[in-house]
Structure 1
């Protein structure tokens, strides 16, 4: 199944430039018809992400400091995809994704929202009071992202699968913060609170 998914992604990024926007829809096999994500294959909601963050993460995968971890199969697949893309492919892919209307992941997660709000105050220093993101600090928006994805990334930071690369200064900070969240219930409460926050009205672009 993973080979099939990777094959779809590799097909997407290897198409000719003049037909990219027509054929890039095949990428949505993984990230959903509106780039809203797909839990079955651990594909996050891309529709909420601004162009600067999409660009930074594709470059991170392309350079190999994100996705190199042997135990992180999903990131390794994305690394392979990004490394097959030319700079022009990256530019077109971002343009394709950011053309979609922002779509919030609709779900609920059981947790102590009041406690989660208290925990979020540390996150707000970088990600914004409403989890809208901060380009200057390289902090992506969190509002509207799936809870399972946020939990998985926080766990990846705690375990060292993310934030360990020397080039990833923002990730190193996130690793410290995630490690300070001691229990799984605390993580659950934090993400449950983030899930209550409204989407920003527009994406932040250059």
Structure 2
């Protein structure tokens, strides 16, 4: 007796299924993976994530796998992807173990919370919020990121290999950081525990210290 043909299986028509290509690098819900150079996406402002997807698609941000995956996706679909990851709320990772000296951590804390007026470097908190959770629609939180990733991105800003919509507010700030400053900030941020509510603040919760093309008023 011939066997009945197998039932065709159809993938679920959900955004979670559609973004499975993202999960090997960024985690099932954007929570990140063990790779220290791939960032957590979950809970970041949708506008920020959308801006980054546009930048990868256009080649302004250069990473071949991302450039290839996004090359032919339309704006509306990129916005859906951004909205999906922005809505995810997996648990924040535990703080990274401390691998630098107290002096380096203290320098990182000083830059993150107070900046360096002599070097004309504003505090990270002045743009990313007092608890560094970011602000809608385009300022990302800085928690849950590994020091290697933060160092790599600050280095990219410093040398102009990562740029943003004009006026590019990060590049001139990062350009004033020394290599030691980058190490210190990255190490300090990675040691911070997440606050009880790590969601980005609503738009207009605080004023930015200067115009920023990624976060228009």
| Global fold match (TM > 0.5) | yes
**Alignment match, 1:127:** 128
The question of whether the paired residues in 1 share the 8 Å contact of 2:43 and 2:87 is answered with: no
Measured on the aligned residues, the alpha-carbon RMSD in Å equals 2.9
- Identify the match of residue 78 of structure 1 among 66, 71, 78: 66
| TM-score, length basis structure 2 | 0.69
Superposed displacement of residue 23, structure 1: 4.0
When residues 168 and 57 of structure 1 are mapped into structure 2, their CA distance, relative to the original with a 3 A threshold, is farther
**Alignment match, 2:24:** 29
The question of whether the paired residues in 1 share the 8 Å contact of 2:37 and 2:146 is answered with: no
**Alignment match, 1:176:** 172
The structure number with the bigger radius of gyration is 2
When residues 38 and 176 of structure 1 are mapped into structure 2, their CA distance, relative to the original with a 3 A threshold, is same
How many Å separate the matches in 2 of 1:108 and 1:50? Answer: 27
- Identify the match of residue 181 of structure 2 among 181, 186, 196: 186
How many Å separate the matches in 2 of 1:98 and 1:135? Answer: 11
How many Å separate the matches in 1 of 2:49 and 2:167? Answer: 17
When residues 142 and 41 of structure 1 are mapped into structure 2, their CA distance, relative to the original with a 3 A threshold, is closer
Could you give the per-residue CA deviations for residues 71-123 of structure 1, whole angstroms, max 9, x where no partner exists?
xxxx2321222222123322332233234224323322423222211111222
Superposed displacement of residue 145, structure 1: 1.6
Superposed displacement of residue 151, structure 1: 0.9
How many Å separate the matches in 1 of 2:84 and 2:134? Answer: 21
Superposed displacement of residue 39, structure 1: 5.2
**Alignment match, 2:99:** 110
How many Å separate the matches in 2 of 1:118 and 1:21? Answer: 40
Superposed displacement of residue 126, structure 1: 1.0
Superposed displacement of residue 168, structure 1: 4.2
Which segment is superposed worse, 92-101 or 28-37?
Answer: 92-101
**Alignment match, 1:61:** 56
Q: Which structure's residues are more often helix, by fraction? A: 1
When residues 38 and 84 of structure 1 are mapped into structure 2, their CA distance, relative to the original with a 3 A threshold, is farther
| TM-score, length basis structure 1 | 0.72
How many Å separate the matches in 2 of 1:35 and 1:105? Answer: 12
The question of whether the paired residues in 1 share the 8 Å contact of 2:146 and 2:186 is answered with: no
* Number of aligned residue pairs: 179
When residues 48 and 95 of structure 1 are mapped into structure 2, their CA distance, relative to the original with a 3 A threshold, is closer
How many Å separate the matches in 1 of 2:43 and 2:97? Answer: 18
